[in-house]
Structure 1
């Protein structure tokens, strides 16, 4: 049943959540110059979430941590959860279509992970998404996740830093891994009906099971460890820049793209809603304001 491995993975996602929350609140405290510096530093509101089960039994849950209206972050959510139970028929069919063995005969599942989306006050500071997760069924287990940068105003040096940091964390696991996961992110975070990418890419993987749980878990941890050093320097650099109404308008239009992708294509959104997880937690990724032209 992999109980020890499940506990280690769940504990790791919770620790990563705690580290990120502390780092983001520290950025709020340190923002002393530039736009919004006179505002009150933001803090996370933390809410326990519960997964709804058909029979009312315990089905797990987690923590939804959301900061709104801060100096630096207009809205940022850092969610962590561990849920379990029995997949519904639609979810079973989706898993079977992905090649999960035995899922229709035994639809039990366990899933744990962290999911983060940040939407920024300053349009020069890039939005970002990150998640890592472990999924288990009686017939299989796997890891997934990654992170990708979503600036509305692109800076080549920001993109280069974000990707270089991820590459440095992935290279110890094999020099072919970063280009593979970068290409996967480019394919996954693409909006077909807009014929464009959601942002400037990053890394992404799913269904990661090499047969070596320790190696795959170590890779997943390094994907999580790469996030803060890849992202925080960009926020620190861009949060002090002045911006115009036109810059803000560009940000709101770009957020519309983000919302479209998450509601129409994102696999995690579909899974969370289909399995009865707290809808507010699942939809935490949506921006506070967006615009369509």
Structure 2
């Protein structure tokens, strides 16, 4: 069993509590839509290459009437990066030991007028300590009202901590969530941040943890409102075809470019949990 220090335990406890509240809200939305689906939770354990226990996590998945497929995962893992991969990770080149805990969520919706969404926040420890994460909205059929509300809520979360955060992190999201081989963004953006250091330039764990918590709260506040606004919008076969083609683009990004996918696969994570972000159905023309 891993021994966690106070900061690691606090982060882990928060991510797990956020998971519980998000899943409860999503189950409530599903019930309102007339469905009876609930999350199925599957625990998994990780083993380090040397055979030592390396933590694990819980994969939660629900498939229902409103949520065609939604996955909410939490994990807490530790071990050693292999030497090659360690060279690519912040603070690991000189010491390959690592710790990571976080929550990752992707929702693919049944109604094409309801935007899919991604949210992830995490705390990592190598020879450095930092937070990263963000949230971005991915509508097959964009609505300006939804985009504006999503960004406004994230902007408010950022402004409570640093007036530069939203400008910096929304641009980071635009740059990151881009599919170069298609020449398109995978959605209408949000925020993305990484290497929010807890040990340099006056930064503290408490301040960065507070911001990361507010990102999670902002997501829990705004996304259910958007789902409830759009879930009963009529749609036709053309709308569904547009959704399935868009999902193909989403899958391409996650399999080719997404850092979280690469991190999970390169550190011996649970493959089903890592790939839960993939849509249940997609098309390519």
Question: Which bin holds the TM-score, normalised by the shorter protein?
Answer: over 0.9
1:208 corresponding residue in structure 2: 196
Structure 2 distance, partners of 1:56, 1:66, is 29
CA displacement at 1:2 relative to structure 2: 7.6
Structure 2 distance, partners of 1:104, 1:187, is 26
2:224 corresponding residue in structure 1: 232
1:3 corresponding residue in structure 2: 5
Verify the 8 A CA contact 1:50 1:60 in the aligned structure 2. yes
Task: Give the counterpart of 1:86 among 80, 83, 86.
Answer: 80
Structural mapping, 1:168-207, within 5 Å: 168-207=156-195
Structure 1 distance, partners of 2:137, 2:46, is 29
1:42 corresponding residue in structure 2: 37
Structure 2 distance, partners of 1:174, 1:2, is 29
Is 2:112 the partner of 1:123? yes
Q: Which moved more, 1:169-178 or 1:250-259?
A: 169-178
Structural mapping, 1:140-179, within 5 Å: 140-179=128-167
Q: Secondary structure at the match of 1:59?
A: strand
With the length of structure 1 as denominator, give the TM-score of the two structures: 0.93
In the alignment, structure 2 segments of 5+ residues that lack a partner are none
CA displacement at 1:228 relative to structure 2: 1.6
Structure 2 distance, partners of 1:129, 1:163, is 14
1:34 corresponding residue in structure 2: none
Structure 2 distance, partners of 1:156, 1:149, is 12
Aligned residue pair count = 279
Structure 2 distance, partners of 1:51, 1:260, is 27
Structure 1 distance, partners of 2:171, 2:30, is 34
CA displacement at 1:91 relative to structure 2: 1.7
CA displacement at 1:104 relative to structure 2: 3.2
The 1:226/1:106 distance shift into structure 2, 3 A limit, reads same
Question: Deviation per CA, 1:207-257, whole angstroms, max 9, x where unpaired?
Answer: 111531111111111111110222111100110111000000000000001
Structure 2 distance, partners of 1:281, 1:122, is 24
CA displacement at 1:105 relative to structure 2: 3.5
With the length of structure 2 as denominator, give the TM-score of the two structures: 0.95
Structure 2 distance, partners of 1:171, 1:229, is 16
The 1:168/1:105 distance shift into structure 2, 3 A limit, reads closer
Question: Deviation per CA, 1:96-126, whole angstroms, max 9, x where unpaired?
Answer: xxxx34x233211000000000000000000
Verify the 8 A CA contact 1:147 1:203 in the aligned structure 2. yes
Q: Which moved more, 1:75-84 or 1:171-180?
A: 171-180
Verify the 8 A CA contact 1:170 1:177 in the aligned structure 2. yes
| 4+ long deviations beyond 6 Å | none
1:275 corresponding residue in structure 2: 267
Verify the 8 A CA contact 1:74 1:119 in the aligned structure 2. yes
2:235 corresponding residue in structure 1: 243
2:29 corresponding residue in structure 1: 27
2:277 corresponding residue in structure 1: 285
The 1:2/1:54 distance shift into structure 2, 3 A limit, reads closer
Structure 2 distance, partners of 1:131, 1:58, is 24
1:67 corresponding residue in structure 2: 62
Task: Give the counterpart of 1:16 among 15, 18, 41.
Answer: 18
Is 2:102 the partner of 1:113? yes
Structure 1 distance, partners of 2:280, 2:101, is 26
